[in-house]
Structure formats: structure tokens, C-alpha cells
Amino acid sequence: MIKTISLFDVPMHPLTMKETVDEIESRMDNGDFTQHVVVNVAKIVIMQNDPMLRESVANCDIINIDGAGVVIGARFLGFDIPERVAGIDLFMHLLTMASRKKMSVYLLGAKQEIIEKTVLVLSDKYPELKIAGYHNGYFWENEESVITDIKKSGAQLLFVAITSPKKENFINQWKDALGVKFVMGVGGTFDVVSGKVKRAPVWMQKGGLEWLYRVIQEPRRMWKRYLVTNSNFVWMLLKARVKQIFKS
């Protein structure tokens, strides 16, 4: 049984990267379906007023903590969080596992040129990886046909690179029809893999400043998101800490 904590009524599992990969591999070996999600500051803030997203996250079998803000905030409130499990890093670890165990994957999301470049990059990086199929993220008028294509592909792992909350709700709605054993939302991962967007230097990743690097790269799209959600999250943390103090 995975240890579960609740932060602002959002369940999450304080696992290390290795523990996460081992748990996913074990579940797949046992034939268990796994619905996976990562939570970050923005997602937690949005879930406070988005019951559909909250349900989609709560229904997941593994809920990893991504984002330095959540790690720091949870520790501030007394939770024991071993480390951050970044979605893009987990994605790479799972591709390594899939290559080793001859498991096939399906890639869904991003623009057509991005998904095509992602397939080429991953095929070069993981020559043993079987990519059973792929499709861009602009399919909402033909949603059921894409679901059929995923199922027919025979893929065992599905990675969905669509923005939140669309990807979480999409996965939760269609999980029983996908025919896969593991499904995970990977956000903007394909943009990074394809080279469209650069990932922050390692020192910024380790220092919890990856969000700042994203703002620098895409200021118009990112500044408001981080300003608003981060400010709300800090306020939520302060109120929660005050309640803890008065209860003690």
C-alpha cells in the first residue's frame, strides 16, 4: 500500500523516483491498470475551484509530487517529502523501462511537427523502444477515432502531452476504453524532447528555479500563471500554518 498524504484536500504520494518506477513496473507485471498524474502548484490551486479536475486527479493510482513549490510547501506544513518527481524525468525513466521490457508506447499530443520530431528523437535515443503509434493533440472533433486508434495499436503505455486540465479529464473519461496498462499526462514534455523548448539547466532544476526559466523563455504565456497561482499557493500555505499553530 502506497503512503498517501493530503495537501489542501489533494491526495498525493510522497515517493522517490526509484520507488515510483518500481511501483509502476510491479503493477504492470501484475497486469494492473495504472492511471498516473503529477501535481504542481498551479494544479493544486486550480483544483480548489475545479471539481472535475479534482475528481480526475483523485481517481489516479499514483499521484507524484512535481514542482519545487509543492515540495517546499508540504515540508513547511510538516510533511516528509523525500524528493521532487519531475514528470519529464519520469517519462524518460519509463521509456528506459519500456525499452528493456519490450513494452510498446503510444504518444499523444502537441502539434503535428512537434510529435513527429519527438518520435524521431526518441527512436534515436531508445533504438529498442517500440512506438506503436502517435497522434497530435488537436483531435477533439474526432475524439473517439483517436481512442480507437490507441486501442488498436496494442500499446501498453500511453503518454498524453496536452495542457491541464484537459489531459487529466481526458484520461479519466476514457481510461477504460484505451486498452493500455499505464497512462500518464506529460504536459509540455514533447516540446522539450523535440527541441522546441529548452529545459532549465540542471543547477536551476535542483534549486527549484525551473519555473523561472520557463517564464524567461515564454514570458507572455507564463508570467501571469506563475504570479497568480504562486501567490495564491503562498497565501494558502500561510493560512494552513496559522491553523496548525492555533491547534497545537
Give the whole-angstrom CA distance, residue 176 versus residue 231. 37
At 222 the pLDDT is 66
What is the sign, positive or negative, of the torsion defined by CA atoms of 72, 73, 75, 79?
A: negative
Q: CA 62, 63, 64 angle in degrees (round to 5)? A: 110
What is the sign, positive or negative, of the torsion defined by CA atoms of 159, 88, 209, 83?
A: positive
At 67 the pLDDT is 84
Give the whole-angstrom CA distance, residue 248 versus residue 243. 9
pLDDT tens-place string over residues 58-106: 999 999 999 889 999 999 999 999 999 999 999 999 999 999 999 999 9
The answer to whether 40 touches 153, Cβ cutoff 8 Å, is no
At 122 the pLDDT is 98
Residue 179 CB contacts under 8 Å (≥ 6 apart), including other chains = 150, 151, 152, 154, 155
Give the whole-angstrom CA distance, residue 207 versus residue 167. 28
At 223 the pLDDT is 67
- Rg of the chain in Å (alpha carbons): 18
At 54 the pLDDT is 97
At 205 the pLDDT is 75
Higher-pLDDT residue of 172, 248: 172
Query: DSSP character for 188?
Result: T
pLDDT tens-place string over residues 191-246: 999 999 887 777 777 777 677 667 677 777 666 677 788 899 999 999 999 999 99
Amino acid at 87: G
As a whole number, the mean pLDDT across the chain is 93
**40-49, 178-187, 219-228: lowest mean pLDDT where?**
219-228
- In this predicted structure, the answer to whether residue 115 has a pLDDT above a threshold of 90 is yes
Give the whole-angstrom CA distance, residue 40 versus residue 73. 11
Confidence of residue 161 (pLDDT cuts 50, 70, 90): very high
